[in-house]
Amino acid sequence: MDYTLYLVTDRAMAGERDFDDLVGRAVRGGCTLVQLREKDASTGEFYERALRLKRVTDYFHVPLIIDDRIDIMMAVDAAGVHLGQSDMPAGVARQLIGPDKILGVSAQTVEEAEKAESDGADYLGVGSLFPTATKKDAIAVSRETLARICSAVSIPVVAIGGLNGKNIPLLEGTGISGAAVVSAIMASEEPEAAARRLKDSIYGIL
Amino acid sequence: MDYTLYLVTDRAMAGERDFDDLVGRAVRGGCTLVQLREKDASTGEFYERALRLKRVTDYFHVPLIIDDRIDIMMAVDAAGVHLGQSDMPAGVARQLIGPDKILGVSAQTVEEAEKAESDGADYLGVGSLFPTATKKDAIAVSRETLARICSAVSIPVVAIGGLNGKNIPLLEGTGISGAAVVSAIMASEEPEAAARRLKDSIYGIL
């Protein structure tokens, strides 16, 4: 798994633009995996959207991760699922999805990170590192906590929350395996170019 | 499976009362199966609530059906899942849950009913038969359509939507296998007595 540049989707940010096309451009620009996040969709809509997006990620040979919903992940045979702390407990999720699917877990503290790793997480999403409009209730995580989490666990850690080309260099030396972005790509007029620049930034510190 | 008196939960109607205790009383009064419906819960909350309610339904040896969410159903090993027309397609759901779990599907027309049966549904929920405050956007189904659906399929049909002791007798002769209720029990001050009276009503027409 390559966690270098992890795109987390936001349908509202796509606006009038074709969502699947936008994600495809981002992947063409260098995103190494994609998480589909649909907080307001019915199960039927989420399923249809996941099915459509999987055609895009399959075409570009990048893994598709489904936010929160193991049922959707299984229904479209996505690569894995990402769980927040208010989603299914990670240990229960691991039993349901089996050993081969990717299990990502959000963690904000060393304790949550160690628990997630022992529950079977394959990677951690840690943040928010910087102010973000996407998740207004996101807990702030300091650069120091991020570094302590990276030292405490042996699984890859992906930083998330307000990341862009300017602040990614500030995370040098923390031990992260990649950067997850939402608005820096989803809200960009040029998602492919944005992904390319972000990837240069993250390559610069890995 | 005994579909005679099918309790569909509504947490808001329980108000200040203990939800699990209320459902337990309803089952003691004669409900033959229980569907947990949680439209506003996070996945983590839904999981915890389903786990708690399953202790109650297990204690009384009645099946627990989970509304919409196959992931929750699998996580708590509930008896089955109930899908609306905006949830996961029934055929996909049947593949995910395997042959042994119960699959219920909501249907409002003969066409939907026949499709659900061929997709692998074990029973149908048909309604709303009568005006209801629970689902304001529920499509009205006439007594005649209900009877036509019962004739068209070979799986059990459960009537739903505004059912109470007064109007259940109006469904005599339609061919239903049971009545599903929400407010007639969940909003009752005496859920056990309410369930007992409703069961008498439904027994009177089966």
Is the pLDDT score of B76 beyond 70? yes
Contact A88 B68 (CB under 8 A): no
Q: What is the mean pLDDT of chain B?
A: 96
Chain A residue numbers with beta carbons less than 8 Å from the beta carbon of B74 are: 70-71, 96
Cβ contact, residue pair B96, A89, below 8 Å: no
| Res. A138: pLDDT tops 80 | no
Mean pLDDT of B98-115: 98
Is any Cβ of chain B less than 8 angstroms from the Cβ of A77? Answer: no
Residue A135 has pLDDT above 90, yes or no: no
Q: Which of B43, B77, B81 to mutate to test the interface with A (most CBs of A within 10 A)?
A: B43
Backbone angles phi and psi of A109, in degrees to 5 = -135, 165
A124 forms beta bridges with: A105, A157
Q: How many CB atoms are closer than 10 A to CB A17?
A: 13
Which of A43, A92, A135 is the best residue to mutate to test the B interface, defined by the most B CB atoms within 10 Å of its own CB? A43
Q: Which of A44, A85, A96 sits opposite B88 (nearest CB)?
A: A44
How confident is the model over B19-30, as a mean pLDDT?
98
Contact status of A71 with chain B (Cβ, < 8 Å): yes
- Among A42, A44, A87, the residue with its CB nearest the CB of B43 is A87
Say whether pLDDT at B138 is over 70. Answer: no
Contact call for residues A195 and A20 (beta carbons, < 8 A): no
CA-CA distance, A54 to B25, in Å (whole number)?
46
Dump pLDDT digits (tens) for B37-72: 999 999 999 999 999 999 999 999 999 999 999 999
Q: Is the model's pLDDT at B137 over the cut of 90? A: no
The secondary structure of residue B64, as a DSSP letter, is E
The answer to whether the Cβ–Cβ distance between B43 and A71 falls below 8 Å is no
From B42, B44, B69, residue closest to A71, measured CB to CB: B69
For residues B151 and B145, give the distance between their C-alpha atoms in angstroms, rounded to a whole number.
Answer: 10
> B67: which 2 tokens?
């509304």
Residue A92 scores a pLDDT above 70 = yes
A69 to chain B: which residues are within 8 Å by CB? 43, 71
- Asked if ipTM goes beyond 0.90, one says yes
pLDDT at A132: 82
The per-residue pLDDT for range B146-202, each reduced to its tens digit, is: 999 999 999 999 999 999 999 999 999 999 999 999 999 999 999 999 999 999 999
pLDDT tens sequence across A54-79: 999 999 999 999 999 999 999 999 99
* Distance to chain A for B28, nearest Cα, Å: 31
| Interchain pair A96, B71: CB under 8 A | yes
